[in-house]
Amino acid sequence: MIYMANVNGYVDLLEGIPDETKEEMVELNNTLDQLDSCLDALEEQNDSLNAKLRDLLQSSQQARQELQAERQSLQAQSDTEPGTSTKQDQKKQ
């Protein structure tokens, strides 16, 4: 049965409906409950994947920034050390 709460307690929403139709409605209600549960699980998985992707993106951006900083540091060192030349310097010669 499908009940709804009201001021006087619970009322059978299917009262007066033929038994066959009641069974179909109860089965449909159960199916909708199952679908709702499945959708909730999918939403949780989606949220989890989104969080993991954000973390991966942030990690990737941080690694790229660190590599750029290291590259700049190495470039600055090679520019200040005597006897070293960059590819651009070699092309000029």
pTM of the model: 0.55
Tally of residues, the chain: 93
Count of the separate structural domains present in the chain = 1
In a domain? residue 67: yes
Distance from C-alpha of 17 to C-alpha of 28, rounded to nearest angstrom: 15
Using pLDDT thresholds of 50, 70 and 90, give the confidence band for residue 93: low
In a domain? residue 86: no
Is the model more confident about 57 or about 23? 57
In a domain? residue 78: no
**Each residue's pLDDT tens digit, 25-53:** 889 989 999 999 999 999 999 999 999 99
